[in-house]
Amino acid sequence: MNDLRFDRRGLLRGGAAVLGALTPASLLHAQPAAGSTLTIGIPGVPATMDPVNQINHDWMVTTQLIFENLIEFDIDGKLKPQLAAALPTISADGLTYDFTLRPGVTFSNGQPFTAEDVKYSFDYLLNPANRAARRPIFARITAVEVVDPLHVRFTLSEPYAPWLAFMTKCMGIFAKGSREANGPDFFRNAPVGVGTGPAIFEEWRANEYISLRRNPTYWNRGVPAWERLVVRQLPEDATRVAYIRSGQIDIMSSPPPRDFERLKTTNGLQGASRPTLGGWFAFYMDNTKAPFDDVNLRRAVSSAIDRDLIANRVYRGLLDPSAVSAPKSAWWYHAEADRAAGFDLDRAKRFMAASRHAGGAPIEVTIPATPYLLDVRDAALVVQSQLKAIGIDMKIKVMEFGPMIQSIIRGDEPASLWLQMSPGEPTYLLQNVLTPGQIVAKSTNYDSPAFRALLARAFAETDEAKLKPLYAEIQTLLAEDSPMVWIGFAHAANVWRSRVKDFTPNQGLTIDPRPVVLG
């Protein structure tokens, strides 16, 4: 356990030391050839290349270039066809979805793409024996039927409109028979030839990079313009800054907020950010374990956190503060619920006094050691200080993100402070975190029949005008129950070199290098 009660300036001096220690030789180690190679630097540690088990949003930049989906969210958060020729036809009862597929598509090994591959991929995902991490959010699919080679039909057990939005992040189409022919290690480590995407897997060098090469038979001719993509594993902020400044990477993910303004005005560099609709930054609490089994303590935590201070002082505008499950920019945001759960120190003290822990409570909160969307460490120190004002003694435990998320999935972390990314629609993270049986449901162990009933009504509705009051009810209920505490929504922010043309930060946050042209 690490208690992060230290001098922050000392940490920054340590970061400067890391930067100073980077020699020219270390910067040039294992560099690809220049010219038509696009190089990206991101934090985090890749765990798999398998699209149905990929849970690290940053590293989806690799899997989404290899594996495609019937439809996708574009960088502006709009649904559009990908392997499908058009958006699906949906039955009046909301239970049947018919897709016409794009003709003339092949996998990168030359095998033609047909409806059989779609059925095969979803059948694999849905088979409980395969233990796909993403299975729970697609579990309402009861049948996938091949109507003809370019026509596939999905049948659902109940109306569930959001599932279309989850394909980009949580699914990929692979060739029929490829799982049996190659085995799990192939998909985890080196899936060559089994995707339809614009890139083909080339190499995974542990702790350094994953490289892909352009798919010469890709159905969307002329995409991508680069010949090779290298995605570098650069966990430390100072290292990513050094690499973008020295030209060793072309695009940088997760620029440190304290450096972002300076970097984007540096000669030879550009930068931009945009709000996301799905980048939750939240305090997760196991509602079944003391002291978080006390609703008044949970309410006290929510009211004690000054989100504006965190957004402006720590993240310098790269976080939109919000005490509810929606950013202020979202059409489903409910201001009254935000005010009810937001910062009010006097209210926090009243909730604390009404709890079973009026005399104070010690808690331990787990945070990731390296940035994922944003660096949590600075914010954790601020939250620690703010909770101390109401008698909560918060100790901070630091873990590497990979082991941490697995521990959270198992339910081994009573409290955690971290960010996760959804496709940018209202229900994905609500379902994943706050309904039993979902992938990170044990982070809260919240189980409310009233909440589940409201969510089911939202699943069955597609009219935004009717959905808005439903989401207001949901946010009001969650403000009252406080099963977790929202802090805000991360921005998608990138810095890139001037030779990179036609690049835009992705509203869904994962870097999309498909349109990039190198000057």
pLDDT tens by residue, 307-344? 999 999 999 999 999 999 999 989 999 999 999 999 99
How many whole angstroms separate alpha carbon 408 and alpha carbon 439?
9
Q: Which of 142, 46, 51, 55 is nearest to 97 (CA)?
A: 142
pLDDT at 404 over 90: yes
Residue 196 is given by DSSP the state -
Lowest mean pLDDT among 258-267, 368-377, 467-476: 368-377
b/e burial code for range 36-48 (CB count within 10 A of at least 16 → b): ebbbbbbbbbbbb
Residue 129 is given by DSSP the state G
Structure tokens at 490: 């991360």
Fold of the 67-181 domain? Dipeptide-binding Protein; domain 1 (3.90.76)
For 34-91, strand residue ranges (E) read 37-42, 71-73, 79-81, 89-90
pLDDT of residue 3: 31
Q: Which amino acid is at 203?
A: E
pLDDT of residue 1: 33
In this structure, the number of other CB atoms found within 10 A of the CB of residue 80 comes to: 12
Cβ distance 452 to 460 under 8 Å? no
pLDDT tens by residue, 72-96? 988 888 899 999 999 999 999 999 9
How many whole angstroms separate alpha carbon 279 and alpha carbon 14?
29
In this structure, the number of other CB atoms found within 10 A of the CB of residue 96 comes to: 16
Cβ distance 51 to 192 under 8 Å? no
Q: Which amino acid is at 325?
A: S
How many whole angstroms separate alpha carbon 502 and alpha carbon 188?
31
Q: Which CATH number fits domain 275-491: 3.10.105.10, 3.20.20.140, 1.20.1260.10, 3.30.160.100?
A: 3.10.105.10
Q: Domain residue spans in the chain?
A: 36-51+182-274+492-518, 67-181, 275-491
Q: Which of 286, 241, 236 is nearest to 263 (CA)?
A: 241
Burial class, 276, CB count within 10 angstroms (exposed 0-12 / middle 13-18 / buried 19+): buried
* pTM across the whole model: 0.84
pLDDT at 9 over 70: no
The span from the first CA to the last CA of the chain, in angstroms, equals 48
Residues 6 or more apart in contact with residue 388 via CB below 8 angstroms: 394
How many whole angstroms separate alpha carbon 247 and alpha carbon 241?
10
Cβ distance 234 to 495 under 8 Å? no
Q: Which of 282, 253, 276 is nearest to 58 (CA)?
A: 253
pLDDT at 469 over 60: yes
How many alpha carbons fall within 13 Å on the CB side of residue 503? Answer: 33
Domain 36-51+182-274+492-518 has CATH 3.40.309.10: no
How many whole angstroms separate alpha carbon 360 and alpha carbon 391?
4
pLDDT of residue 35: 55
How many whole angstroms separate alpha carbon 250 and alpha carbon 230?
10
Cβ distance 63 to 204 under 8 Å? no
Residues 6 or more apart in contact with residue 284 via CB below 8 angstroms: 408, 413, 415, 416, 417, 418, 433, 440, 443, 444, 484
pLDDT tens by residue, 32-51? 444 599 999 998 889 999 99
